[in-house]
Structure 1
Amino acid sequence: MTPAAPRRALLARGAASARSRRTPRPVLGGVLGPLLAVVLALVLCGCTSLPTSGPVIEGGGADQGGPRRASDIDARPPLSGASRTEVVAGFLDAMTAWPVQTSVAKEYLTEEAAAGWDPEQETIVYSDSLPVRESAGTVSVRLTAADRLDAVGAWRGAMGAEELTLDFRVSIEDGQYRIADPPDALVVPAGWFRQRHRQVSLYYFDPIAQILVPEPVFVPEGDQLATSLVSALLAGPPPRAQGVVRSFLPSGLTVGLSVPVSDAGVADIALVGEPQAITAQQAELMLAQLAWTLRQDPSVTALRVSIDGTDLPLPGGVSEYSVEAAAALGPAGPGGGRALFGVSQGRLVFGSGDGELAPATGVFGAEGAGVSSVAVTLDNQRAAAVDLGGRRVRLARVQQSASEPAAQTLLSGGNYTRPTFDHADRLWVLERRPGGAVVWLYDEHDDAVRTVRVPGITGTRARGLVVSRDGTRLVGIVRTPDGSDRVVGARVLIGGRGQVQRAGRPFVVREAEGSHITDLAWNGPIRLGLLTATAPGSLYEVDVVAADGATVGVDALSTIVTGKVRGLAASPVEDAPMLAVYADQYVDVVRQEPQPVDLDGLTQLDYAG
């Protein structure tokens, strides 16, 4: 199945629905429809602004395509005698049909262009006004700002300034103006997109099938959510994740017309494609991917899968596979995510989240340990601590151990920031150097420390680093030349034996906005919490941003916390609260509930990882 297949299937279903229900609209003065009349008037005034949504059908002929919804939008076909600019404006407007379909948009194209147009290749989401210019048979539309999604729906970031002008060559066919060279993209307004799409995760495995990795993509909202999720998952990983993750769903499979969900919440997934031999182990991994992907549809509680009419065997001989059945393989890794670890008066402390924190019994919990920052493995057994004023990194047991009584020195002589562990107990440490940052990796399987070049972070003025639990994403805070902070991400490629091979190309998670970011932490599998000092020592802002850098269509949290905040405590475990940390308490950022602590001088608090 090609990457564009989910979109293609969706567009085909939308086209069939639109053909069955399209209702002729009255024309203005017998020539121009309401939208084109407005567009033409604005063009004549020298300023054009396309709407954030298309017209809503208010009634008319028989509805043969099922119940109408207030959100449905009919696309208008081109009117006879429309000008070049009206044809281009009508084409752009026709792409806002909802449910998604492009059959009407194709009517604005020449016959040859309509046959070759491939809007499934990408989505362009634009904002602001669109000045239109016409010159020598070409209509140019200037997008003041726009972003791209790839064929699967993954965010690709902002378009460059040189890409923001869309040129449409308009020719005459059968006496009417038609577009001869449309871009191979669905071009839609940000407001329309925001109202009708949501960011979800498609779940794949790391290369050694130890943990599920979420890949964020955008899919249409509505009754077909389960169908959209399965179709997108079958398409395989988005381009940015190629080589980073793997799928155990056989290639070449497609979903039927839809994925029906029963009143009991059971999704019936009927897949079609070439017959393939599937082992019991592969079947379990397939089910885990489907379960974690479909659990994002609140109507789905379980699933059944068939391939070409043959039921996929379910573990234990059950008749349905619960979406909670593969919880142990989830992207947050093992553990419940509730234990808290921190630093108070230079000692490692820990607690269960009720405000009671106690010093650890291992070497880092002793008086005079001099710990400045710490990270703890997901099993809560070992800690990596930075001490000596940030000049040394050591590894030791959290609690006293007769077999390992002393700490192991991993790094010394540098300027190290807070470490971070992934699910495989790989330890990542950022060293700040005058000549540019260095990223260190300690892998217990090799018992060796080495550097990893991370484009966008290595060699920069990086000030902090975190790794995702699945080990495939690194995100850092980078100081820009103007003194503000940018958040930069990079994917990590892991080999077949679980060894880190290299980091991929960088991408911007958040642009520098003239502020200083004092802390960052994972807040769910595909979200990051950022702590920004608005007025250092008294006023801070907490923002939740998408880890892929998406800025449109993402549910974001932004809140203000007062006082002298020491940092954030957050976890990729979805129900673990994000905490603002103070010297004598921590506060649930969402609920605004304070929890006093029974230790003085708290300087760091965090979950394991």
Structure 2
Amino acid sequence: MTRPATRLTTRPAAIARQVAIALFAAVLLGGCVTLPTDGPIVERNVTDEEDVRQASDIDARPPTAGASRTEVVAGFLDAMTAWPIQTSVAKKYLTGGAAAQWNPEQETIVYSDTLPVREVGGSVSVELTAADRLDAVGGWRGPVPANELTMGFRVTVEDGEYRIADPQDALVVPATWFQQRYRQVSLYYFDPLAQILVPEPVFVPEGDQLATSLVSGLLAGPPPLARGVVRSFLPSGLSVGLSVPVDKSGVADITLVGDAPKVTSEEAELMLAQLAWTLRQDDDITALRVTVGGFDLPLPGGASTYPVNGGQAFDPAGAGATTLLFGLTRGRLVWGTAGNLVPATGPFGDEGAGIEVAAARPDGEQVAVVDGSSRRVRVGSVRETADAPPTRTVLSGGTYARPSWDASGRLWVLERRRSGSVVWLVDGDGVRQVDVPGVTGEQAHQLIVSRDGTRLVAVLRTSRGDEVVGARVVINGRGGIARARAPYLVHAASNGRIVDMAWTSPIRVGLLTPTAPGTLSEVDVVAADGATVGVDELSTIVSGALIGLAGTPTPGPPMLAVYADRYVDIVQQDAYDAADALLTQLDYAG
């Protein structure tokens, strides 16, 4: 049964950008589906995605005769904004030796603004007001430290003109230019066991060369911060031919040149899965053909092309993952589709089960529940079947947050302690603590894990307000958890406390923050890698007393604002009654 939709309104994100409808769909669901372009949810910006794709060309200006030291440095910075990207003119501002050695592909620095170029004591410098850094592959590296915001240049005389002798190995561009011309996409690699694809978000230039940029990014290997976390089956030492042409039928011809080892059919399948999942982000591509070292890559079944929707067995959201909803009413487990929730037939669906929070495994067969005044974690079957394993207690004696599953069936549980949080891992019959820097020992409130098991995201309570931090997880060659790496900031809540969070795509996280408790709440969708520049963050105000947020990395199902008596599709505004009993929790599996 549906009811009239709860009124939802939007306001600009904290970074003062309104979200265009086309970009809103990409942010919310990782670019996997198309959402409606009408309705009151999102205001349309004057610059939509089509305008971004057709960003005006910029011709770089070479240095003029007799230019001063400061004019040469300013001209060099301006020349780096040439579009389409080319650095041949920028090199004219450098000495011959510097031009030969300058490597602007090593990193990208995106700055908010600059103070005027100045010359003091014979040296030339420019101060960036704020800046962020991308690595050579386009992966987000975070803000530039305050002590590195001043860029110094040694300017010397060559052939009677001032030229820069020591340029930084980076492309240095303004944020407004970057936001109009770059797009965050995912390059797909594998977990160490080659069981599931892992998306690594990177920024690539928009335009006709998107397919070439995507393949070149994959061939470069994982971004530095992901090395040791993921693996690639594309042989090293290969490069793209002149480009990746796409014919009228949408077939991309990928010619990989260089010395390549002989590829087995198993390796070919994994290579094709990486390429297909990466290239499906280009809407013009429907299939691909691959040539490696002059030989056609073998395709399954002897086909002539490989569809970009292939490789579903390695789905980063989990092959076979359910999109059913799981909730709690009167302490019992309910599940089903939107508008049709029924009690589970397993042990946790009984009246009086006393469940406080629950999390279903991605395949929907098992569920982990916290009961006993949050003092016990149990695992059991969702449905009653003859071969269902018995319910078992995996943790007890602590105070536990809602658990989180990855697609390999590993269960992650956050234990809240006054002395600092503890992260538990339940893997098969084993239970052990995992040291997660930035979470372990801190006042953590909630923790979720990505389906591929390589990324944790947690909410921390701090004196400055709640913060969301992320950490990469290293999985060893036997599928065990080796360790978690150093934390990074995903989001800082300017409005106080974050009461819930959920994956909305493999690389996006939805956050729920009450702005006026019981009256208004804010839903933010942010990049899981912490990127802020070049990513349009969704910020939506929802009215009423929300109890939670339901989201899933699987494309298709909507993100839901959850009330005790109903739940509402945040995009379409479809609302569903909670039937006879009030909800205390509702979420997708995971």
Establish whether TM, by shorter chain, passes 0.5.
yes
* Structure 1 stretch displaced more, 200-209 or 271-280: 271-280
For the 8 Å contact 2:192–2:229, the answer to whether it is kept is yes
2:438 corresponds in structure 1 to 456
For the 8 Å contact 1:480–1:512, the answer to whether it is kept is no
For the 8 Å contact 1:493–1:504, the answer to whether it is kept is yes
Q: 2 CA distance for matches of 1:264 and 1:401?
A: 48
From 533, 541, 544, give the equivalent of 2:525.
544
1:578 corresponds in structure 2 to 559
Q: Deviations over 1:271-312 (max 9, x none)?
A: 111131110000000000000000000000000001122111
2:284 corresponds in structure 1 to 299
2:34 corresponds in structure 1 to none
For the 8 Å contact 1:436–1:459, the answer to whether it is kept is yes
1:349 corresponds in structure 2 to 334
Q: 2 CA distance for matches of 1:130 and 1:284?
A: 52
Q: Which structure has the greater CA radius of gyration? A: 1
2:466 is aligned with 1:485: yes
2:509 is aligned with 1:528: yes
Q: Structure 1 residues 253 and 340, CA, compared in 2 at 3 Å: closer, same or farther? A: same
1:15 corresponds in structure 2 to none
Instruction: Write the mapping of 1:492-571 to structure 2, written as runs, cut at 5 A.
Output: 492-571=473-552
Q: 1 CA distance for matches of 2:491 and 2:359?
A: 25
**Letter in structure 1 aligned against 2:317:** A
For the 8 Å contact 1:334–1:378, the answer to whether it is kept is no
1:476 corresponds in structure 2 to 458
Q: Structure 1 residues 70 and 532, CA, compared in 2 at 3 Å: closer, same or farther? A: closer
Q: 1 CA distance for matches of 2:328 and 2:281?
A: 36
User: C-alpha displacement at 1:401, in angstroms?
Assistant: 3.9
**Letter in structure 1 aligned against 2:419:** G
1:98 corresponds in structure 2 to 83
Q: Structure 1 residues 405 and 314, CA, compared in 2 at 3 Å: closer, same or farther? A: closer
For the 8 Å contact 2:549–2:560, the answer to whether it is kept is yes
Instruction: Write the mapping of 1:190-589 to structure 2, written as runs, cut at 5 A.
Output: 190-335=175-320, 337-353=322-338, 355-404=339-388, 406-444=390-428, 447-482=429-464, 484-589=465-570
**Letter in structure 2 aligned against 1:332:** A
Q: 1 CA distance for matches of 2:562 and 2:373?
A: 21
2:575 corresponds in structure 1 to 594
User: C-alpha displacement at 1:337, in angstroms?
Assistant: 4.0
Q: Structure 1 residues 203 and 316, CA, compared in 2 at 3 Å: closer, same or farther? A: same
**Letter in structure 1 aligned against 2:561:** A
Q: 2 CA distance for matches of 1:597 and 1:343?
A: 10
**Letter in structure 2 aligned against 1:469:** R
1:9 corresponds in structure 2 to none
Q: 2 CA distance for matches of 1:595 and 1:179?
A: 64
* RMSD, matched Cα: 1.3
From 136, 140, 154, give the equivalent of 1:155.
140
Q: Deviations over 1:141-170 (max 9, x none)?
A: 111110000000000000111011101111
Secondary structure of the 1:112 match is helix
Q: Deviations over 1:563-592 (max 9, x none)?
A: 110101100012221001111111111122
**Letter in structure 1 aligned against 2:425:** L
1:116 corresponds in structure 2 to 101
* Structure 1 stretch displaced more, 334-343 or 252-261: 334-343
**Letter in structure 2 aligned against 1:588:** D
Secondary structure of the 1:534 match is strand
Q: 2 CA distance for matches of 1:91 and 1:79?
A: 12
User: C-alpha displacement at 1:403, in angstroms?
Assistant: 4.5
Q: Structure 1 residues 481 and 330, CA, compared in 2 at 3 Å: closer, same or farther? A: same
For the 8 Å contact 1:437–1:462, the answer to whether it is kept is yes
Q: 2 CA distance for matches of 1:487 and 1:426?
A: 22
From 69, 72, 80, give the equivalent of 2:65.
80
User: C-alpha displacement at 1:71, in angstroms?
Assistant: 1.1
Q: 2 CA distance for matches of 1:271 and 1:586?
A: 49
* Structure 1 stretch displaced more, 160-169 or 505-514: 505-514
Q: 1 CA distance for matches of 2:389 and 2:317?
A: 30
For the 8 Å contact 1:525–1:574, the answer to whether it is kept is no
User: C-alpha displacement at 1:358, in angstroms?
Assistant: 1.1
Secondary structure of the 1:107 match is helix
Q: 1 CA distance for matches of 2:291 and 2:367?
A: 46
User: C-alpha displacement at 1:404, in angstroms?
Assistant: 4.7
Q: 1 CA distance for matches of 2:370 and 2:293?
A: 56
Secondary structure of the 2:546 match is coil
For the 8 Å contact 2:326–2:588, the answer to whether it is kept is yes
Q: 2 CA distance for matches of 1:246 and 1:227?
A: 21
**Letter in structure 2 aligned against 1:233:** L
Q: 1 CA distance for matches of 2:129 and 2:215?
A: 35
Q: 2 CA distance for matches of 1:328 and 1:539?
A: 41
How many residues end up aligned between the 2 structures? 538
* Structure 1 stretch displaced more, 189-198 or 105-114: 105-114
For the 8 Å contact 1:344–1:599, the answer to whether it is kept is no
2:149 corresponds in structure 1 to 164
Query: Which fold has the larger relative contact order, with Cα–Cα distance below 8 Å and residues 6 or more apart in sequence?
Result: 2
Secondary structure of the 1:550 match is coil
Q: 2 CA distance for matches of 1:132 and 1:314?
A: 56
In percent, how many aligned pairs have the same letter? 67
* Structure 1 stretch displaced more, 435-444 or 69-78: 69-78
Q: Deviations over 1:235-274 (max 9, x none)?
A: 1000111111110111111100000000000000011111
User: C-alpha displacement at 1:405, in angstroms?
Assistant: 6.8
TM-score (norm 2): 0.90
Secondary structure of the 1:144 match is strand
Secondary structure of the 2:506 match is coil
User: C-alpha displacement at 1:335, in angstroms?
Assistant: 3.0
**Letter in structure 2 aligned against 1:527:** R
Secondary structure of the 2:89 match is helix
Q: 2 CA distance for matches of 1:439 and 1:599?
A: 36
Ranges in structure 2 where 5+ consecutive residues have no aligned partner? 1-53
User: C-alpha displacement at 1:512, in angstroms?
Assistant: 4.2
1:51 corresponds in structure 2 to none
Secondary structure of the 2:177 match is helix
TM-score (norm 1): 0.87
Ranges in structure 1 where 5+ consecutive residues have no aligned partner? 1-68
User: C-alpha displacement at 1:379, in angstroms?
Assistant: 1.7
Secondary structure of the 2:90 match is helix
1:189 corresponds in structure 2 to 174
Q: 2 CA distance for matches of 1:206 and 1:275?
A: 22
Secondary structure of the 1:533 match is strand
User: C-alpha displacement at 1:402, in angstroms?
Assistant: 4.4
**Letter in structure 2 aligned against 1:460:** E
